[in-house]
Structure 1
Amino acid sequence: MRTPRSLLAVTVVAAALAVAAASPASADGTVLTTGGAGGTAVAVGDILDASLASGTAATLYSSATGTSGVSCASSTFTAAVTDNPAAPGTATESLTGHTFDSSSCTSNVTGVLGVTGITVDNLPYTTTVASDGAVDVAPAAGSTIRTTVKLRTLLGTITCVYQAPGLTGTASNTDNSITFTGQRFSKTSGSSLCFANGYFTAKYAPVTDSAGTDGPAVFVN
């Protein structure tokens, strides 16, 4: 018959083995996964992309609460995963493409007849996605987030240039989305028809991993 001391030793050893068995599974979970929260890790080098959420528009308005400015019904982004550590943590991506289809854009600014083009400059940007859903977009050192907007007027095309030090957004697993709300840009050049500040709002969903066979949705853990 085992003594109480030997039984205690067996219990301690069994508990230690149980912890050791559970630890690798927990450590293997990454910040970005497909197939669901806690699913398959997104590989470094995979390309993530998304278009605007159905029924939404990307807007650049002249004030944080106003509705005067530019609105686009079609926009997409593309980013390459550069680091996807164990969760909880922060994944890193290189935002290499961010486009707006000018044919889907309109403007209600007085004196503006239409939108000729919108270009996102100074790419690539570094994007981080934290386990709590916080998204940060930053330019290269010494650079800025910059957007060039070309508007058609009675006097011809005018060019408005806006910039920001960075952007912040939120990722959600509810619809695999990334949302930016009221992100402030300052005008650096352009005519008086270019509003002094631009406030960017957009929701992109679903964010998918194009390396998958069916473009599986990406979850944040």
Structure 2
Amino acid sequence: MRTRTLLTLTAAVAALTLPAAVPASAAATPVLTTGGAGGTPVAAGEALTASLASGTSATFYSSATGTSGISCTSSQFSATVTDNPAAPGTATESLNAHTFDAAGCTTNVTGVLGVSSITVDNLPYTAAVSSEGTITVAPAEGSTIQSTVKLRTLLGTITCVYRATGLTGTTDNTDSGISFTNQQFTKASGSSLCFANAYFTAKYAPVTDASGAPVFIN
């Protein structure tokens, strides 16, 4: 009888000291999910894509407050998730492609007839998406964010090269969008028809995974 009582007491003490199993539903929510905030985690290696938000344009203006420059109605980007830690935190992505369709680009720069191409150089870039609702884009170490713009003029095609050390944008769970506003690029080379600075503004929405599901920030 005494032995049985001792065994029962030992079992009770063990039950009190052993940690309780954590149900799967209590697992930490990562920064990136689909199906809504707090939804299905986005796996590392997942491909994400986005085009310009409906009815918007990507612009490269010569000043932060002006309207002289280039406007494009078609632009897309694609990225691969490299890390998606628990929120609050910062998820990282590799920005593999960022394109602009020159057929949808117009310009009102004096002396320029049209846009031949806009190419984003030195890819991939690293994108860091924080729970606080910001996204920062940075080049590889020792490189720079760079865009090459080719413009048609009466004297032929000119090439303008613009560079930036980094870009900062904001995220929005309302439409799973990413916005960049007046991100400054500085002319690295080009003729006098290439404006000295290019201020980039665009909204991409929705950002979706490979299945087409919108991505949310937690």
TM-score (norm 2): 0.90
Matches within 5 A, 1:1-221: 21=22, 25-210=25-210, 212=211, 215-221=212-218
What's the offset of the Cα at 1:40? 0.3
Q: Which runs of 5+ in 2 are unaligned?
A: 1-15
Query: Residues 26 and 163 from structure 1, CA distance in 2 versus in 1: closer, same or farther, beyond 3 angstroms?
Result: farther
Question: Which of 1 and 2 has greater Rg?
Answer: 2
Q: What SS does the corresponding residue of 1:28 show, helix, strand or coil?
A: coil
- Inter-partner Cα distance in structure 2 for 1:110 and 1:59: 17
Q: What SS does the corresponding residue of 1:216 show, helix, strand or coil?
A: coil
User: What one-letter code is carried by the residue in structure 2 that aligns with 1:216?
Assistant: A
Q: CA RMSD in A?
A: 1.7
Task: Name the residue aligned to 2:3.
Answer: none
- Inter-partner Cα distance in structure 1 for 2:73 and 2:170: 20
Query: Residues 29 and 64 from structure 1, CA distance in 2 versus in 1: closer, same or farther, beyond 3 angstroms?
Result: same
- Inter-partner Cα distance in structure 1 for 2:25 and 2:173: 21
Number of aligned positions between the proteins: 203
Query: Residues 34 and 156 from structure 1, CA distance in 2 versus in 1: closer, same or farther, beyond 3 angstroms?
Result: same
The question of whether the paired residues in 2 share the 8 Å contact of 1:27 and 1:87 is answered with: no
User: What one-letter code is carried by the residue in structure 2 that aligns with 1:57?
Assistant: S
Q: What SS does the corresponding residue of 1:206 show, helix, strand or coil?
A: coil
- Inter-partner Cα distance in structure 2 for 1:27 and 1:41: 11
User: What one-letter code is carried by the residue in structure 2 that aligns with 1:218?
Assistant: V
TM-score (norm 1): 0.88
Task: Name the residue aligned to 1:9.
Answer: none
The question of whether the paired residues in 2 share the 8 Å contact of 1:27 and 1:86 is answered with: no
- Inter-partner Cα distance in structure 2 for 1:46 and 1:56: 27
- Inter-partner Cα distance in structure 1 for 2:26 and 2:131: 14
User: What one-letter code is carried by the residue in structure 2 that aligns with 1:182?
Assistant: N
After superposition, give the CA deviation of every residue in 1:143-179 in whole Å (9 maximum; x if it has no partner).
1000000000000000000000000000110110000
- Inter-partner Cα distance in structure 2 for 1:82 and 1:113: 41
Q: Which runs of 5+ in 1 are unaligned?
A: 1-12
